[in-house]
Amino acid sequence: MAASVPNQPSHFLNKEESFMYDREGRYKMQDTMNAARIEYTEKGVMNLASRRCDIVKISMSGAILAILTQYNLPKQFYLDIPDARIKKVGCVLMKVFPNNTIEVRFLSLLTEKEMNKIFVYSTHPAHRNHVLDIRG
Q: How far apart are CA 89 and CA 82, in angstroms?
A: 12
Mean pLDDT for 51-61 is: 92
Percent of the chain with pLDDT over 90: 32
Q: How far apart are CA 130 and CA 121, in angstroms?
A: 9
Mean pLDDT for 13-36 is: 68
Q: What is the pTM of this model?
A: 0.74
Q: Supply φ then ψ for residue 17, to 5 degrees.
A: -65, -45
pLDDT tens-digit readout, 68-124: 877 778 889 999 999 889 999 999 999 999 888 999 999 989 998 899 898 888 888
Identify the pLDDT of residue 126.
77
Cα–Cα–Cα angle for 63, 65, 71, rounded to 5 degrees: 135
**Beta carbons of 53 and 80 less than 8 angstroms apart:** no
Length of the chain: 136
